Amino acid sequence: MTVDDPGGRPGRDTAAARPRDRPRSRASQSDLERYAGLFAERTRNMRSSAMRDLMALTQRPEVISLAGGLPDTTLFPAEELAKHLSVVAAEAGARALQYAPTEGLSEVKRAIREVLRAEGDDADPEDVLVTTGGQQVIDLVCKTLVNPGDVVVAEAPTYPGAVPAFAAYEADVVQIAMDADGLRVDALEERLDALGAEGRSPKFIYTIPNFQNPAGVTLSLPRRRRLVEVARERELLILEDNPYGLLRFEGAPLPTLRSLDGGEFVISLGTFSKILSPGLRLGWAVAPRPVLSKMNIGKAASDLNSSSLTQLFVATFFRDGDWRGYVAKQCALYRARRDVMLASLEEHFPPGATWTRPEGGLFLWVTLPDGLDTTDLLAKALSRNVAFVPGRAAYLDGRGGASLRLNFSGVGEDDIREGVRRIGAVVHEQIELLDRLTGRRPAAPAPAEALSPAPDPTLADVLELRRRAPDPRRPQRGSSSP
Ligand SMILES: Cc1ncc(COP(=O)(O)O)c(C=O)c1O
């Protein structure tokens, strides 16, 4: 293909050539074929994040989205934002507009240290890499450690946003069951033994110990201790993803895995996204130095450095503002919203549905009675202007069909009540339909729309969720529902 090949010029996706209802960013099959010969092997495994796809669908103001992972940024006073930004402009305008060292500015590392200390951890600034959100840490850890086919251990379910990163680096992800106390470390050990018998060892164990996304559960102290011991005994790295540790509404704080380990086998991921603002796109990694220096090189290749402007904003806010007060305000708000969501679930969800009761964070995880599929339910829910994340988004192998993730931080109490009511109504309808079809309920003519729900073209187009059944050769101990 030459630059001026009239038959297939890249970038010529004119409105006339594009189906009218397809968003500009979505490539059609014929577009893909046109470029297919150029794609690297790894793109075959790449998949988009169901969460981000959903975000595009739920931008419409009439949709109540319980799908996002959004902190409530309206809580941050506009005057405070303006004040700190003008301090940055006055004190360090030229630096804010300049490149910065890849590892990050020393001022923001001081702020990171304060956050670490608030959780009973600490780090030498030399061991910290400032990143473009926590998401970049997941990407850099994979970039640094994972060859195609390498094993990565994750929780079942896992953070839906990590799924595309694991897929892009062609990791063989082994998901280990959780329960109310978080990752089942006993199941992990069994699985590590089984992998060891095949001569395989994971490159790292990915865990979200506090108010897990999506499950909302927290790793208990005995399990934290045992997990760190397991890593040390077997010389395995842990990636401790901890965006939510400070968003605790009740119960006693627990030590981080990194503080229990001393930093030899734990890479920790932190972020300002949930305690301050995701729009800043600022996070960090603390890692053993040899690993950190490779991650630093990987980061320089990706984006040279994270925004100097937002680094200086955060540093100024931490110096002059009340970041702890802001976190406390968020906790109070989210706690009230969580309680509303729990009460609404009691009111509107059927017997047989179960859900977690998080002590902090942004999410809870609902598991529906057998036979229901939340990917199908989402299509119906969206037609009633309400959204959630279907459970399959949190698995790499097609499991999770009976579950869904609900977010309670991003919308107000009235919308939580109404959103849960609408989802509950859809669930009840689906159960009735299922009962009729299986003869558990006297046959009454089912509404035609319910028997063969019209496929939602937009949803089908954007949600790439696998429907493959779990691989029977892979033993999965325990249930997937935490
Ligand atoms: C568990 C977890 N890790 C990482 C991230 C990425 O966050 P960010 O890139 O905004 O710091 C998120 C965001 O929701 C998350 O929930």
> 121-140, pLDDT tens digit by residue?
999 999 999 999 999 999 99
Nearest atom in ligand 1 to the alpha carbon of residue 282 is 11
User: Based on the domain organization, do 84 and 228 belong to the same domain?
Assistant: yes
List all residues 6 or more positions away from 409 whose beta carbon is below 8 Å from its beta carbon.
Answer: 70, 71, 72, 330, 333, 334, 337, 362
In a domain, 307, yes or no: yes
Two tokens at 14? 């004119």
Give the CB-side neighbour count of residue 77, counting CA atoms within 13 A. Answer: 11
How many other C-beta atoms lie within 10 A of the C-beta of residue 77?
11
- Average pLDDT over every residue of 138-166: 96
- Asked if 283 contacts 272 with a C-beta cutoff of 8 angstroms, the reply is yes
In a domain, 218, yes or no: yes
Ligand 1 within 6 A of CB of 317: no
Domain of 285, in residue numbers: 78-320
Ligand 1 within 6 A of CB of 310: no
pLDDT band, very low/low/confident/very high, at 448 (cuts 50, 70, 90): very low
**Cα–Cα nearest to 176, from 227, 132, 101, 113:** 227
Residue 15: φ, ψ to 5°? -60, -35
- DSSP letter, residue 393: G
Q: State which of 274, 277, 334 you would mutate to test the pocket of ligand 1, scoring each by most atoms of that ligand within 8 A of its C-beta.
A: 274
Please report the pLDDT score of residue 1 as a whole number. Answer: 29
In a domain, 255, yes or no: yes
- Average pLDDT over every residue of 320-344: 98
What angle (nearest 5°) sits at the alpha carbon of residue 333, between those of residues 327 and 338?
120
* pLDDT over 90 percentage in the chain: 75
User: Based on the domain organization, do 392 and 377 belong to the same domain?
Assistant: yes
- Asked if 355 contacts 366 with a C-beta cutoff of 8 angstroms, the reply is yes
Instruction: Please determine, for residue 271, whether its predicted confidence score (pLDDT) is greater than 80.
Output: yes
- Tell me the CA–centroid distance for residue 243 and ligand 1, in Å: 6
Query: What is the spatial distance between Cα 447 and Cα 29, in angstroms, rounded to a whole number?
Result: 34
Residue of the CA atom closest to atom 13 of ligand 1: 69
Instruction: Please determine, for residue 202, whether its predicted confidence score (pLDDT) is greater than 90.
Output: yes
Ligand 1 within 6 A of CB of 214: no
Please report the pLDDT score of residue 452 as a whole number. Answer: 35
Instruction: Find tokens 């109070």 and name the residue.
Output: 332
Q: State which of 54, 70, 135 you would mutate to test the pocket of ligand 1, scoring each by most atoms of that ligand within 8 A of its C-beta.
A: 135
How many distinct structural domains can be found in the chain? Answer: 2
pTM over 0.75: yes
Ligand 1 within 6 A of CB of 157: no
**Taking the mean position of all CA atoms in its chain, how far away is CA 165?**
11
Under DSSP, is residue 135 helix (H, G, I), strand (E, B) or coil?
helix
In a domain, 59, yes or no: yes
- Which CATH number goes with the domain that contains 312? 3.40.640.10
- Tell me the CA–centroid distance for residue 384 and ligand 1, in Å: 28
DSSP strand pairing (363-367 vs 266-271): unpaired
Instruction: Please determine, for residue 111, whether its predicted confidence score (pLDDT) is greater than 80.
Output: yes
Ligand 1 within 6 A of CB of 134: yes
Query: What is the spatial distance between Cα 106 and Cα 109, in angstroms, rounded to a whole number?
Result: 5
User: Based on the domain organization, do 84 and 72 belong to the same domain?
Assistant: no
User: Based on the domain organization, do 92 and 168 belong to the same domain?
Assistant: yes
Instruction: Please determine, for residue 447, whether its predicted confidence score (pLDDT) is greater than 70.
Output: no
Ligand 1 within 6 A of CB of 278: yes
Two tokens at 346? 């009691």
